[in-house]
Amino acid sequence: MKSSRFLLLLLGVLLLIPSSEQMVQCRYTKNLTNRADGGDEHCLFYYLLNREYEDSGNVHSLSTFPPRSDEMKITIENVLVKYVELVKGSSYQFNVFGDIYLNWKDERLKWDKKGEFENYDHLYIFNSSAIWTPHVIDHTLCADGGCSYSVDDIDIYDDGTVYARIQFKYQASCVVDYRKFPEEDDSCCIFFTAFEPNVLKTQFEIEGKSKEKLNRPVYAQKVYEKEESLNKAAQEHSPWVVVERSISVSHLGGLETLEVLQVCVKAEKQMSTVRVALLFPVTLATYVMLASPLFGDLRTQIFVKLFTLHVQTLCFLYLCTITPLNGFLGVRPRIYIFYEIVFTISFCSILVTLVVMALSRVKRNVPPSHRLFLSAKLINRVVCCIEPERTDAYHRFVEEETNPEARPTSEVNDSVIRRGAELDYTQDWRHIYLALNNMFSALMFSVFLFMTFLEFF
């Protein structure tokens, strides 16, 4: 019992005795009582602060004013995009969360490694407001207070180089390219500036990769109920996917003294199912329409083309239902151009077939060119496997006799070939008309095949 009490008493004494680091105070803090650093920084920092205080006479000079130089160079090591979400109430504006890893040179933070602090290669700063840091911020879209900005992980090396990490959340300025609707592209940029009133020129230098491929979903903000716990609610993602991050430097308004760091993300709306639903049925129906000469006579071709036109109209109405209410900002999407060409081809194909049907009813007594007739017959029989039949319903002469029953039976049967002393070449001309219809369908089929290749590949 006595031994246990002795151990407890000894432990209490040890707890009451301050540690050696607490007892030994840094001698450079005696003149810096007006600063609210809390004494958390290392003694090396107070050595640098005291030295700057002796030079400038201002105890807040190291944390308030930039380095004494006319030109400030900020090196951007990397920009990391961690999280992207849709702005509430918008379908294409993004909030971007990320980190900027940067460094700059501050001559006031140098120290001699041969002296008192020879064992220190670098100095970590716990309080980011203890030293001056560049204000790399975006002033454009933060009027509503929805942005955040903080500087962390400040590390100083003996040559005065300061490394830091900026955590930011900014609303990006986005521009949508509607030409690829419904899988349009969205380019969103944040414009960072580092304007300092006491520095004549601020220069950005990109050290890392200017472009980086990404594959990160864009999440949609969800309105949660008060009773619903956030850890149980699943995060919903939007159709947008960030595919690229790029960094570039430009001059603001042509001013050489003020540079802008542009951090841009490129997102693509990946809706392959909707795209297939809009393109595949209308493409297949158009191919069937242009191959209608293989189905039989002209009347059958007309029925096939009218049915395919009905399918094309249904697909276009579905496209109109998913069109944004605010339109496409004066841009005509490629899929609308595709539908315009499809309807144009369908109208021309139906019109040509109707004209050919009308010409086939007109009786012809003048023979066509023999070579033209043979070429037309070759196209109809060999290529399209079709030729005009005398029993087709649309074969009707324009000039009809008033009383065909009064004619002899043999003369009625031979009336298709001759009428009185005149020969009838109507069937020969029908071959030519039908060949023209088939050749037009083949030409449109080739054009549409090339157009489909451009659209899909």
CATH of the domain at 166: 2.70.170.10
Among candidate residues 173, 199, 225, the one where a domain is terminated? 199
Residue 346 lies in a domain: yes
Domain hosting residue 109, numbered range: 24-181+194-199
Question: Do residues 430 and 306 both lie within one domain?
Answer: yes
Of 151, 170, 199, the residue that ends a domain is 199
* Alpha-carbon span 35 to 432, nearest angstrom: 101
Per-chain mean pLDDT for the chain: 78
d(CA 341, CA 451): 9
CB-side exposure of 334: number of CA atoms within 13 Å?
A: 15
Q: Residue 29 falls within a domain, yes or no?
A: yes
pTM comes to 0.70
Q: Which residues contact 5 (CB under 8 A, 6 or more apart)?
A: none
pLDDT of residue 383: 66
CB 431 within 8 A of CB 380: yes
Least confident of 177-186, 410-419, 435-444: 410-419
Considering the domain boundaries, does residue 12 fall inside one? no
The β-bridge relationship of strands 161-171 and 148-157 is antiparallel
pLDDT at 226 over 70: no
Task: Say whether both 169 and 278 belong to one domain.
Answer: no
Q: Does residue 289 sit in the same domain as residue 434?
A: yes
- 282 is a domain residue: yes
pLDDT at 4 over 80: no
CA distance 230 to 227: 9
pLDDT at 282: 92
Lowest model confidence (mean pLDDT) among 124-138, 267-281, 324-338, 384-398: 384-398
Number of domains making up the chain: 2
The pLDDT value given to residue 434: 85
54 lies in some domain: yes
Encode 167-217 in three state secondary structure: EEEEECEEEEEHHHCCCCEEEEEEEEECCCCCCCEEEEEECCCCEEEEEEE
Highest mean pLDDT among 10-19, 225-234, 290-299: 290-299
Inside any domain, residue 247: no
Domain boundary among 199, 230, 248: 199
- Banded model confidence at residue 13, pLDDT cuts 50, 70, 90: very low
Please check whether residues 299 and 442 belong to one and the same domain.
yes
> 291 in a domain, yes or no?
yes
Examine residue 404 and state whether it is found in any structural domain, yes or no.
no
Confirm if 200 and 118 have CB atoms less than 8 A apart. Answer: no
